[in-house]
Each structure stands twice: as structure tokens, then as C-alpha cells.
């Protein structure tokens, strides 16, 4: 590009917050990297820029100084300023380029991603994230309005004032006082048998699932998963390149006999025995004992994902599967996202002794340690009784909201929906009584401001589409989150949901998304 053409092509926006010299620097830099200005080309004197662009000489000099400092230009007093000859010609002269990825590259998904990295990408589409304002019926969402944030803020401020010396690097296993409290509370509430040394604090339960999948399974080794099951579990296993083995669930939970017969070589089993995700049933004692017996006889591990056991309605929380384990083959995973607030990102594992050191080392490789300040605040929150009071209060409110939702469905949608298990949790599974198109209902709900999630969301195995049909033993339907909605909002939202079915009289084939 000729020097005069270069000057003519530069535009500076005085309305921008970016200083003019930074804008000029950026334009010249882009021309150099784009090949419009080749190595050895002389830049115009600063006065030409001043006249052509209506800027001060200091603005031009500042831009030149920045480019000189970064090595794009070289200059000699009395000789002028030149594009550095040591820079390689980035493109052939006369061709333009874009510093961003071209459409052809982005269209070829995976060209910039390793084979290992491909397994972190959901082959069924983008992972769904909660975004925007909470709407009915967002799943697994607690009511943030019930959380005592003023108490939390006070405790946090106290730590910032008095405990600055504890805010450096800490133990990868987690803040010791928090682990001590968790050991006591888990024993009292869930019957979990452990010492503080067996507890590993993680950045949410998702990190725990990822660690276990990648550190306990080699590529191609088998793991049992419930069918249907939590997508975070299958995502972690897919990333680990494990072979997922779908096991049907019924009213008693995972069918252990089926799994042992069809997948005897499995090394790991992921289960949600206290409150099956997403259908909500509780695993029977007989199935629990059978699962433990299988693990003990086959030197396999069981991952007990106890994601919302604090919210059991009508009775006390059940004893954990881990409490029945006499051979240390159960790994207990818990989260605080649903009882406190999701963005806290605090979870934990209770590890068998032989796994404690390896998993702590693995955790330290991933992120060194989970943020210490939230752990310190949570420790005080528990020790001062706020945690117990919050659980007691929200358990009562969520039970009332679930009862309201069930009652509304039975009165307004009894011909359309059948309610699933109602033992507890933040969500309610409902099944279509007629042959409805699940995806059509979901899209129509979005137009009315309803955030619906189909049970097909929990169906299928990433990368193993041929096995997706094994998830079809349960009728299609929806998972409705109710915890974040007050009674009036639940009643209004059920009426909106009813209008969807009234507007859609067709009995289309129901989608089973793999």
C-alpha cells in the first residue's frame, strides 16, 4: 500500500473512549500485520499525519513510540521511521487478511481443538446454561430471595478485616475448619462415616465428577450411568473418553441386576440414590445392598451424587449409601450450590482412604485450590447456626411450593400430566399422558416466558448415539423447577402451561433427543 493511501485509509473516532494515539497505533499495527505495510517500508513524517488526520504531532509521536517499543518499527534520527525489516512478511503483497479466524476455519469445527479437547464438547449441541432472569420453571434453582445475604456479607467483611494472613495459598484439600465441620454435620444428617482428612473441597460438584471420571477410568473403560441421568455426569465421562453403560431405573432406582448382567466389566458406577436425577425416586435398600455387593466383589467404585438430600419432604433425610459401605468403595459427592446459592461454587467429596492423596494431587493440578474466602465464611455460617436455620426454613417453604404445584397440576392439567415422585428436591418430573411433542411444548413455552426442560434432555449418551434408545423406558415429559417461585407465581405459571396444551391439540410424535 502506498503511503498516501495508508493515511487516507485511517479513520479516528473522537467519540470513542480510546485515546487517539491508541487508535492510530492500532491502525498502523493492523496494516503491518495485514501485509499492507511491508518490512522496510518508510512511514510518512509525523507532520503528514497531523495535516491529513487533524491531530497533534504529539499524538503521532506517542503512537510511533508505542510501535517502536513493541518492535513493529525502527527509527533513526535524521533518517526516518521504517517498518522493522526483521519482521517476516505475514502475507503476500496485495492480499488482505483478517486477524480473526476466517469463516472457513470456524466452519471446520475442531481444527483448532485437540482430539482430547473434542471430548469436552457436547456432540448433541451446546450445554444449556441458566441465563437471564429466573423464569418458571427453571430447574435446580433455589430461591435466592430466601438466603440471608446480609449475614453472609457481615461474616465475609469480618474475615477481610481480621484474617488477611489466611488469604494466601492454602491446602489443596480445602480449609481445615470447614472440613472438620462438614465431617460432623454429614455424620449427623446423612450418616456419613469419615474424618476431616477424607474430605476434599472442590469447585462445585461438577469438578468432583470430572476428577473422578478422569482419574479413576482409563480411556475406553466402562462406567454405569442411570438412564436417564444428570448431563453433568455424562459430560465428565465423555471428556474422560470412558464407555458409558446406560442402566434403566424404575421405582426402586437403578436396576443393579440388569447392570451386572449387561456390563460386568464396569469399573465405576454413578448413582443418585437419595433422589434420582431427574425422575426423583429413591433407591431401595435391597438395590443399595446389591450395588455395594457388586462393587466389593469386582473391586469397583461407586460415586454417590447426593446433590439435594437436604430437601426431603415429609420425613428426615435418608441415610447415605456411604453409611452402608464397610469396604470403602463409595465416594460421596455433595454440593452447596442448591442450599446456599449456585455461584458460590463449593462442593466436596468424601474419599476412601486410598484415594485421598491421589485426588488431592489431581485437584491441585487443575486449579491449585478452591477459593479460600468462601470456605472461611461458610465455616462461620455453619458454626453460628445460620446454615441449619436456613435449611430448616427453606425445606418448609419448598415443601409448600411443591404441594402447590402438584395440586395445581391435578386440578388444571390432570388430563395432560402425571406427577412423578414427590419425596423432595427442587424439581418435579411430570409425564405426558398423551402423545405430545416435547420440543414443540418447550418452544411454545418460551414464547410465554416459561423455561421448560424436557426429560429428553437427560436422555442419551454423548458419542454413543446407537445406545440412546436404551433410555426410552420412561414416558416423555418435563422437569419443572418450583423452588424459586412463590405460590402466586406457581399458580399463574401452571395456567400458562395449561394454555400451551389447549393451543396444541395435535398429538404429534414425541421427540427422543439423543
Q: What is the rounded CA–CA span in Å between residue 101 and residue 187?
A: 54
Q: What is the rounded CA–CA span in Å between residue 508 and residue 418?
A: 18
Domain boundaries, the chain: 3-83, 174-388, 393-503
Model pLDDT for residues 170-213, shown as the tens digit of each residue: 899 999 999 999 999 999 989 999 999 999 999 999 999 999 99
Q: What is the rounded CA–CA span in Å between residue 370 and residue 238?
A: 24
Q: What is the rounded CA–CA span in Å between residue 202 and residue 89?
A: 48
pLDDT band at 164 (very low <50, low <70, confident <90, very high): low
Dig out the grid coordinates for 320 from the structure. Answer: 447415605
What CATH class does 174-388 carry? alpha beta
Write down the pLDDT at residue 165: 60
Write down the pLDDT at residue 77: 62
Highest-confidence segment of 111-115, 221-225, 308-312, 368-372: 221-225
Paired residues of 304 in beta bridges: 271, 332
> Which value, in Å, is the radius of gyration of the alpha carbons in the chain?
29
Write down the pLDDT at residue 3: 62
Q: Which CATH number is associated with domain 393-503?
A: 3.90.1150.10
Residues 6 or more apart whose CB falls under 8 angstroms from that of 500 comprise 441, 444, 445, 448, 450
Model pLDDT for residues 418-449, shown as the tens digit of each residue: 999 998 999 999 999 988 888 889 989 988 99
What is 3-83's CATH number, 3.40.50.880, 1.10.3720.10, 3.30.1280.10, 1.10.10.10?
1.10.10.10
Asked if residues 481 and 427 have their Cβ atoms less than 8 Å apart, the reply is yes
Residue 106 per-residue DSSP state: H
H or E element at residue 332: strand 330-335
Give me the chain's average pLDDT, please. 85
| H helix intervals, 323-472 | 353-367, 372-383, 386-412, 438-447
Model pLDDT for residues 344-386, shown as the tens digit of each residue: 899 999 999 999 999 999 999 999 899 999 999 999 999 999 9
Q: Do domains 174-388 and 393-503 have the same CATH topology?
A: no
Q: What is the rounded CA–CA span in Å between residue 177 and residue 334?
A: 17
Of 55-64, 120-129, 275-284, 491-500, the range with the lowest mean pLDDT is: 120-129
Write down the pLDDT at residue 470: 43
Q: What is the mean pLDDT of residues 493-512?
A: 70
Model pLDDT for residues 13-46, shown as the tens digit of each residue: 888 778 888 888 888 888 888 888 888 888 888 8
Dig out the grid coordinates for 430 from the structure. Answer: 411430570
Residue 75 per-residue DSSP state: E
Write down the pLDDT at residue 1: 54
Share of the chain above pLDDT 90, in %: 55
CA dihedral 82, 86, 88, 94 (to 10 degrees): 20
Q: What is the rounded CA–CA span in Å between residue 510 and residue 335?
A: 34
Write down the pLDDT at residue 115: 77
Q: What is the rounded CA–CA span in Å between residue 280 and residue 266?
A: 25
Write down the pLDDT at residue 125: 47
pLDDT band at 4 (very low <50, low <70, confident <90, very high): low
Please, which contacts does 433-439 make with residues 24 or more away whose CB atoms are closer than 8 Å?
A: 434/507, 435/507, 435/508, 435/509, 435/510, 436/476, 436/501, 436/504, 436/507, 436/508, 436/510, 437/504, 437/506, 437/508, 437/509, 437/510, 437/511, 438/476, 438/477, 438/478, 438/510, 438/511, 439/511, 439/513
Write down the pLDDT at residue 105: 37
Of 281-290, 315-324, 364-373, 482-491, the range with the lowest mean pLDDT is: 315-324
Model pLDDT for residues 53-84, shown as the tens digit of each residue: 888 988 888 888 888 888 888 887 677 888 88
More confident residue, 8 or 151: 151
Q: What is the rounded CA–CA span in Å between residue 128 and residue 139?
A: 11
Dig out the grid coordinates for 190 from the structure. Answer: 446423612
H or E element at residue 223: strand 222-227
Asked if residues 291 and 321 have their Cβ atoms less than 8 Å apart, the reply is yes
Half-sphere exposure of 360 (CA within 13 A, CB side): 18
Asked if residues 233 and 278 have their Cβ atoms less than 8 Å apart, the reply is no
Q: How far is CA 107 from the centre of its chain?
A: 25
Model pLDDT for residues 388-426, shown as the tens digit of each residue: 999 999 999 999 999 999 999 999 999 999 999 998 999
Q: What is the mean pLDDT of residues 138-147?
A: 92
Amino acid at each position: 500500500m502506498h503511503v498516501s493511501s495508508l493515511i487516507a485509509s485511517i479513520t479516528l473516532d473522537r467519540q470513542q473512549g480510546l485515546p487517539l494515539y491508541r487508535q492510530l497505533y492500532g491502525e498502523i499495527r493492523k496494516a503491518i500485520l495485514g501485509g499492507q505495510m511491508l518490512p522496510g517500508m518508510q512511514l510518512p513524517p509525523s507532520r503528514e499525519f497531523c495535516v491529513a488526520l487533524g491531530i497533534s504531532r504529539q499524538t503521532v509521536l506517542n503512537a510511533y513510540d508505542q510501535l517502536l517499543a513493541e518492535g513493529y518499527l525502527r527509527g533513526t534520527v535524521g533518517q526516518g521511521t521504517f517498518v522493522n525489516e526483521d519482521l517476516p512478511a505475514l502475507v503476500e503483497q496485495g492480499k488482505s487478511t483478517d486477524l480473526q479466524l476466517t469463516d472457513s476455519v470456524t466452519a471446520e469445527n475442531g481444527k483448532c481443538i485437540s482430539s482430547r479437547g473434542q471430548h469436552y464438547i457436547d456432540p448433541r449441541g451446546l450445554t444449556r446454561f441458566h441465563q437471564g432472569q429466573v423464569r418458571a420453571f427453571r430447574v435446580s434453582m433455589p430461591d435466592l430471595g430466601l438466603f440471608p445475604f446480609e449475614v453472609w456479607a457481615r461474616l465475609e467483611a469480618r474475615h477481610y478485616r481480621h484474617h488477611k494472613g489466611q488469604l494466601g495459598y492454602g491446602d489443596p484439600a480445602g480449609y481445615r475448619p470447614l472440613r472438620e465441620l462438614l465431617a460432623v454435620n454429614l455424620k449427623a444428617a446423612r450418616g456419613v462415616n469419615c474424618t476431616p482428612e477424607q474430605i476434599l473441597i472442590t469447585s462445585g460438584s461438577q469438578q468432583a465428577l470430572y476428577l473422578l471420571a478422569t482419574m479413576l477410568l482409563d480411556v475406553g473403560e466402562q462406567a454405569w450411568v442411570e438412564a436417564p441421568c444428570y448431563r453433568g455426569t455424562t459430560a465428565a465421562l465423555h471428556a474422560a473418553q470412558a464407555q458409558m453403560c446406560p442402566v434403566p431405573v424404575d421405582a426402586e432406582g437403578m436396576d443393579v441386576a440388569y447392570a451386572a448382567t449387561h456390563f460386568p466389566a464396569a469399573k465405576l458406577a454413578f448413582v443418585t440414590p437419595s433422589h434420582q436425577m431427574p425422575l426423583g425416586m429413591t433407591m431401595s435398600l435391597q438395590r443399595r445392598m446389591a450395588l455395594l455387593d457388586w462393587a466389593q466383589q469386582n473391586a469397583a467404585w461407586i460415586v454417590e451424587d447426593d446433590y439435594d438430600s437436604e430437601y426431603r419432604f415429609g420425613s428426615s433425610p435418608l441415610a447415605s449409601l456411604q453409611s452402608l459401605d464397610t469396604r470403602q468403595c463409595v465416594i460421596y459427592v455433595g454440593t452447596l450450590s442448591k442450599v446456599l446459592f449456585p455461584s458460590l461454587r463449593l462442593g466436596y467429596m468424601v474419599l476412601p482412604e486410598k484415594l485421598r492423596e491421589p485426588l488431592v494431587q489431581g485437584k491441585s493440578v487443575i486449579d491449585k485450590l478452591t477459593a479460600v474466602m468462601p470456605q472461611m465464611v461458610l465455616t462461620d455460617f455453619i458454626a453460628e447456626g445460620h446454615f441449619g436455620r436456613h435449611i430448616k426454613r427453606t425445606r418448609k417453604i419448598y415443601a409448600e411450593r411443591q404441594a402447590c404445584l402438584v395440586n395445581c397440576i391435578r386440578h388444571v392439567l390432570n388430563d395432560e400430566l402425571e406427577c412423578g415422585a414427590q419425596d423432595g428436591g427442587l424439581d418435579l418430573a411430570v409425564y405426558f399422558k398423551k402423545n405430545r411433542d416435547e420440543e414443540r411444548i418447550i418452544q411454545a413455552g418460551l414464547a410465554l416466558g416459561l423455561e421448560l426442560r424436557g426429560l429428553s434432555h437427560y436422555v442419551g449418551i454423548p458419542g454413543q448415539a446407537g445406545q440412546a434408545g436404551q433410555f426410552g423406558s420412561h414416558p416423555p415429559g418435563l422437569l419443572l423447577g418450583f423452588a424459586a417461585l412463590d405460590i402466586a407465581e406457581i399458580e399463574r405459571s401452571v395456567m400458562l402451561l395449561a394454555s400451551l396444551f389447549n393451543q396444541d391439540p395435535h398429538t404429534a410424535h414425541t421427540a427422543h433427543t439423543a
